[in-house]
Amino acid sequence: PVLKHDIELPASVPELLLEKHANFLLSYGTDKDEYMYCMTEHMRMSGMYWGLTALDLMGKLEQTNRNEVLEFIAQCQTESGGIAASLQHDPHILYTLSAVQILCIYNALDTIDIEKVVKYVKERQQPDGSFTGDIWGEVDMRFSFCAVATLSLLNRLDVIDVDKAVEFVMKCMNFDGGFGSKPGAESHAGMIYCSIGLLSITGNLHLVDADQLSWWLCERQLPSGGLNGRPEKLPDVCYSWWVLSALTILGRLHWVNKEQLVKFVLACQDTESGGFSDRPGDIADPFHTLFGLTALSLLNTDYPLKKINPTYCMPEYVIQRLHLKPARLD
């Protein structure tokens, strides 16, 4: 049988339904006994980061309950200094980054004990330069990005061995120019974003072959206009982020077909509930809603969206307010 690796786009796609997306995010998971509220508890801090960043891009941050969010984050910081996804959960570097990102967007870093966060992240680094996600010891190159992004947002990169961190990331580079989660692991667009993001923050973009890597990234675009994360996979709107942000940092965003990709992204909107799903016709969620909007922001469409910073996946004005200048190739 012929394997289907792409989808058919509908003949016409809706315009950007900004108000519907804002309402979708503002009401998502508010009903405490609603199914999604319970199912997403294990990643609540990240879910809040996805929703708040998307709302800020749409200029709706003032419609959120800032004090309630800050109170929740303060309560999620644990004795270790690390921050958990939800109350009574264990701390993890993924949610520590999400919490710090939210606090930077709200300009409220004094909500938590910064010194203890810095100590928690520093303790994650291993002798080979890699990072564990929490005290249970799982190593993944995603956690290297989380550690470096978190510490750079706090202006405390001095506490880790940056050269060893970069050394580990480069061990994850494959012959196809891509990056995997560990040395020898298959190239994946999400891991390429994490490695290029870390190299952008630490000023080491000269270590990658920008042309070969950008070529692999552009190969992700399918006839439907959508992008997938690996060869032979279906397109998915969240890969728009992993691929476009890396291409932007590498200075080769113009290598993708912008018109076709914009059409694919608009087709992923749920015209009933609001929000974006991974592919046309699936259920919308905050994760894909953020990445649908960041794609339109990176692609310089005429829609009224704030600029997204490709390295931190945070609004550009926030990165400028922190006086951060992540490197990118021109």
Ligand X SMILES: COc1ccc(S(=O)(=O)N2Cc3cc(C#N)ccc3N(Cc3cncn3C)C[C@H]2Cc2ccccc2)cc1
Residues that bind ligand X (CB under 6 A): 43, 46-47, 236, 238, 278, 285-287
β-pairing verdict for 314-315 and 308-309 = antiparallel
Least distance in Å: CB of 175 to ligand X? 25
Residue 278 interacting with Zn ion (CB under 5 A): yes
What number of other Cβ atoms are within 10 A of residue 285's Cβ?
21
Do residues 62 and 312 make contact, with C-beta atoms less than 8 angstroms apart? no
Nearest distance in Å: CB 254, ligand X:
26
- Select the binding partner of residue 43 from ligand X, Zn ion, none (C-beta < 5 to 8 A, by kind): ligand X
Q: Kind and range of the H or E element at 168? A: helix 162-171
Cα torsion angle, 204, 209, 214, 220, sign: negative
Decide which of Zn ion, ligand X, none touches 125; Cβ closer than 5 to 8 Å per partner kind: none
Q: Which residues of 6-20 are buried (b: 16+ CB within 10 A; e: fewer)?
A: ebebeeebeebbbeb
Q: C-alpha distances in angstroms, 206 versus 166, 169, 209, 242, 329?
A: 12, 14, 8, 20, 9
177, interface contact from Zn ion, ligand X, none, CB < 5-8 Å by kind: none
Left if phi > 0, otherwise alpha if psi is -120 to 50, otherwise beta: which for 10? beta
> Residue 200 CB, nearest distance to Zn ion (Å)?
22
- Residue 46 or residue 200: which is nearer to ligand X going by CB? 46
Tokens of 8: 């058919």
Contacting Zn ion within 227-246 (CB under 5 A): 236, 238
How many residues bind Zn ion (CB under 5 A)? The answer is: 3
Q: Work out the widest C-alpha separation in the chain, in whole angstroms.
A: 58
Which residues 92-131 are close enough to bind Zn ion by CB under 5 A? none
Q: Pick the closer one to Zn ion by CB: 238 or 247.
A: 238
Which of residues 216 and 276 has its CB atom nearest to ligand X in the complex?
A: 276
| Of 123 and 282, CB closest to ligand X | 282
| Cβ 257 to Zn ion shortest distance, Å | 20
Phi then psi for 143, rounded to 5 degrees? -70, -25
Which residue, 64 or 277, is less far from ligand X as judged by CB?
277
Q: Which is nearer to Zn ion, 83 or 298 (CB)?
A: 298
Binding site for Zn ion (CB under 5 A): 236, 238, 278
